[in-house]
Each structure stands twice: as C-alpha cells, then as structure tokens.
Amino acid sequence: MSQSCVVRIFDTLVWAVVLCTLAFASDQKSPTKLSDLPTEAQWGVSAALASDMPEYRVRVTHDGYEVENPRQKLNARFGSAGLEVQAEGVHFGMSVHGYGYGETLAPVRHSRPSAGVNRIEYQRGAFTEWYLNGPLGLEQGFTIRERPGKNPTRQPLTVAIALTGDTQAVADEDRRGLRLTRSNVDTAFHYAGLTAQDANGKQLHASLAVKVAGTLLLEVDDSSAQYPVTIDPTIQNFTLTASNGANSDDFGTSVAIDGNTIVVGAPRSANRLIGEAYVFVKSGSSWKNMTQTATLTASDGAEGNYFGAAVAIGGNTVVVGSPAATVNGNFAQGETYVFVRPSKGWTNMTETAILLASDGGPECTFGSGVGISGGTVVVGAPGSGNTGLPGSAYIFVQPPGGWVNATEAAELTASNGVDDGELGFSVSIISDTVLVGAVSQDGDVGSAYVFVEPSGGWINMTETAELTASDGQEGAGFGASVSLNGNTAVVGAPGEGRGAVYVFVEPANGWSSMTETAELEVAGGNEVGISVAIVEQAVVVGAPFSNPVHQGAAYVFLKPTGGWKTTSKPNLILSIPFTYGFDNFGTGVAVSGKTAIVGAYTAPTSPPCNPSCKAGPGEAFVFVEQ
C-alpha cells in the first residue's frame, strides 16, 4: 500500500494552497481552460500540458535542478538539502526531515534529486518526495510505500517538514491552515485547512502544527484507517456555469442553496436585461463542475426587468425577484415569481405563480430581496427612487391548494420608517421570524428589523425589534445584506470603512431592540458584508471588491465554543485560484449544511484585465467542507 501527500504552491505573493491527496493522472483531452475540469483533475492536466511546454521544463544547475513557473512568477531550486522558492523578493524553503508516529520519527536522509521533463524526485527508501511543474503551480508530493512501523500508543501519523526563509510560520487557530508571512507582505504563502480520509472514504482527523525552530508537522489520526490514507484540503471547489452564458450576463449576482439544489440568478441574461435563473441539482453523492439542470424564465419577461436579481429556495419551491419589471404601466414596480418543481424533477419552465404588492407603484422595486421558509414567502420592496417611500416587506402564504397568482397576506413596515429608508433592500425568513434590512434608514446609517409572526398568523404590522450597530455611522450601509438562522441574525454593513458584519443573538425573553452581540471584520478587506449567509456554526461573508483588481473573496467565520465574539480574523478565506481579476467573487453567498455557494458575477474575464476590460458571463463556485 502507498500513501501520498501533495503540497501545491501557486500565486505565491498573494496566497498558496497546501493540498495532500493521492497522485492523480489524467488522459483526458484538455478543455478550453483548466478551470473547466474538476479540481482534482486540474493538477494532472496542468502537469501533462507542461511536459510539452519548454518554459516549464527542468534545467540542470551546478548543485541540482531548477524550474521556472512563468504563470506564477516563481523560481524553484532543488538541491540535496531540499526545495527553495523565490517569488518577487519572497524566499521560502522546505525540507522533510522525518516521518512516523508522534515523536518517534524515522529520519529522512538528504539525497540528490533526479529529474524528468518537468518532474523532480528524491528517492529515500520507502519515502519518495516528488515535484511536478505546470501552469497551475508547483505540486509537491510524498509517497510512503508502507505503513511506518508499529504504533502501540496510537500516536498520530506525522510528517515533519523544516521551514526556512524570510517568513514567519503561524498556524491558524483551528490548526487546519498555515500562514507564512513577512512584515512588508500581507501573505507570502497560505496553506488551506486539511482533512483526511482512508481507502474506504472514512474521514480522519487531520491538523497542522508549527513547532520550535520552524518545523511544520502534518498530523493524521490513522488508528482505525485502511491504507492508503488521503489527506485533502478542507474545501473542495466546483464551478457552475450557464450553458448559454454570454459576457455581462451577471450570472452569480444572486445565489441560494437548499440541500442538493442550488439556484443562481443572472439578471442581465437572455438579451437586454430580461434575466434568467438557473437550477443545479447535485449529481449523485458529489457536486461537480456542471451547467444547469434547468432554466427558469418569466412568462411575461421583458427587456430591463432584471429577473434573477434575487433568488431563494425552500424544498421544492424556488422564488425569483424581478424588481425592475413594469406592472400596469408603472416602471420598476416589480414582480416576484414562484416556481414549483414538477413531479419528475426540475426542467426548463416558466413560473407557477406571480406575486404582486397590492399597493405597488412606480419604482417600488418589489422583488429586490426574496426569502422562503416552508409555505411562507417574504418579498422586499425598498421603494427608493422618485417615489420617496420608506419601503416595505410583504408576506405571502401558500394557499391549501398550492401557489397561485396573489397579492400579499400582510405588509411589514418600520414604526420609525423614513422616506427613502429602503426597508426591504434585503430580507431573510426562518420559520415564524422575518429579518428585513433598511440600508438607508436613520440618515444612511441603516437598520435591520425583526418581525415575529403573531399567534393568529401574519397581519399588517410594524417590527418586533430594531437591530442597530453600536458604532454605526452615515454611509455604513448597515442592512445591505441580512441572514437568519435559529436564534441568530446577521447583518452586513459593507460601507463601514472596509466593511463589517454584525451578529445578533436573540435574548432569552425573545427579540427586542438591541445592538450587536459581536462584530466580524477583515483586516484589509474592502466592502466586506455585501452578502452574508449563516448556518448554525458558521457565517459566510462576501466581499467582491476585495484585492487590488476586484478579484473578490468570501470569508468564513466559525462560531467559537463560548458563543459569537468580536474578531477581525476569519477562520477561512475562500477565493478563486485561477483569475485575471475583476471577477467580483463574493457578490452573492449562500450556505446549507457544509456546502457554501459563492457568486462571481463578472467571471471569467479575459487577460489583460483592467478597469475597462469586458465583463465575463459570471460563474458560481461550490465549496464543500469534507
């Protein structure tokens, strides 16, 4: 039996990923771009392509070998002592010096490497270290051909790696990631969090640790494992695209997920801003790179309606907002559409029902935010523009016979609502509780309002509680995004300097007006909180304008053991490894269980990209925690 651990280094000055997995070889013909392939296949194809590309080939030096990686702008040298990487002034080295169980490690002796076309190997008995150079970066692997001895005290399987260079190694708080930083560079290298599984697919506990003298330990509990063991990153990433995608469709503006079904809005697709929404259904036990299972359209779709600006899903029902739709001659009054899955599964279709506001008027933008829980739908109508309305949210309850064209069962308003307050800019619903953002309330500071369903059912009402930021200021945009889960509400404020997200935990006696329980920030972030989503133990935050060229990012904050606490350190950063910039990754985020979906509404752009480059059709990315 053999075991393999793979470390991948790329985009060195920005970030790098550590991935440990079984070696993969592919004989598939390369598609238009590597990112079209599943993540696991991309590296095999990268190495195969590079074998025919002179710029990635191994060169002989006086003391070993070296490779250049023009795409990642790095140089790697291989001597008897190990690997050294140079990337635009940043230096990093690593050398394996032992493996085994716990502190009983068999030493790995120095040896001169051997080389192929774009492959380097160190042969050390049962332990082989190898490297492959390709467009995606430099891939490093360790192959252990047999179990490293007996383990009577059940210590973790450990690979010890000496770290050298002008960077400082710091393990993430959860010991599932590692950062190598330098004082004048934000992040020189970043290793993504690890998981592990055995030959039967059983998940094993895996962690990283940094010991004294710059030693990195990869530790895996293999006490009940069947070899070979695979150590993988916590996150796997899959790409969703539209089969009819065209530049500037804005695919990924809005996203939603429930169980094995994802919905993605593309409000500028279908020619001249008519808009479409796309349904993706999980294939078997795993997501994969795919185009849509079904396309949802409006039967009365028209130019400029912006159908797909907001989407939501609950069970077999999808809700799609079309906030710019003209209704009875009223420009941008807005409509919302309900789609119920047919008995044989999702297929291309028009709506089951159309929802309207009974008091709708010009520029109410009904459908700017939508949410669904059980048989209840909430629709936001921020009412901005020339009307000067404070905004509203509307409740629709599914009739006993199923969804039909209808007006609201109840209208939700703010007791202190002001003209142009934009109540309804964002909405969320869970069970009998609705959360509504009013992004321009209180002099553009913003507020969010909680509405709890009365015992007799929904009625026209004002809020149960108002949520505000203790440090709120004009232009903060508090309420631009909202999300509910159980007794916890999350509100984004992307205009608060670099942006922030606020967490509110319901008091024991029920919701009442309050300021935040905790504030989540990101050092160096830009407009953090444009999108938010929450599950029981995690908050996912979108920041599509982060990074110098709007590559964008999404940040994952895990709930601490003692409850939510103010922090500026996300537990995990989600991003796109292959990008030319201006992808706006993080425009929309959604989460269900251990699966997150992140929209990038202008990806993929074409190089060279600058502020005048042409926007791509957009993509959505699925990240699955193993």
User: Which pLDDT tens digit goes with each residue over 318-354?
Assistant: 999 999 999 999 999 999 999 999 999 999 999 999 9
User: Which pLDDT tens digit goes with each residue over 477-503?
Assistant: 999 999 999 999 999 999 866 899 999
Identify the three-state secondary structure at position 50.
helix
Contacts of 576 (CB under 8 A, 6+ apart): 551, 552, 583, 585, 600, 603, 621
What mean pLDDT do residues 398-424 have?
Answer: 94
So what's the pLDDT on residue 274?
94
What is the CB neighbour count within 10 angstroms for residue 563?
11
Q: Where are the domains of the chain?
A: 3-233, 251-413
Whole-angstrom Cα distance, residue 358 to residue 499? Answer: 36
So what's the pLDDT on residue 198?
63
What the block records as the tokens of 279 is 């349904």
Q: How confident is the model at residue 7 (pLDDT cuts 50, 70, 90)?
A: very low
Give the CATH fold of the 251-413 domain. Methylamine Dehydrogenase; Chain H (2.130.10)
Q: Select the more confidently predicted residue: 253 or 228.
A: 253
Contacts of 533 (CB under 8 A, 6+ apart): 483, 490, 539, 540, 589, 590, 591, 596
Assess whether pLDDT exceeds 80 at residue 228.
Answer: no
So what's the pLDDT on residue 327?
95
Whole-angstrom Cα distance, residue 270 to residue 415? Answer: 40
User: Which pLDDT tens digit goes with each residue over 152-202?
Assistant: 888 998 888 888 887 777 777 667 667 666 655 444 555 554 666 665 656
So what's the pLDDT on residue 323?
97
Name the pTM for this structure. Answer: 0.69
Identify the three-state secondary structure at position 324.
coil
So what's the pLDDT on residue 123?
85
Q: Answer yes or no: are the C-beta atoms of 157 and 207 closer than 8 Å.
A: no
Q: Answer yes or no: are the C-beta atoms of 373 and 430 closer than 8 Å.
A: yes
Strands of the sheet containing 349-350, edge to edge, are 254-258, 261-266, 276-281, 294-297, 349-350
User: Which pLDDT tens digit goes with each residue over 17-70?
Assistant: 223 322 222 223 333 344 444 444 444 555 555 566 788 888 998 888 999 887
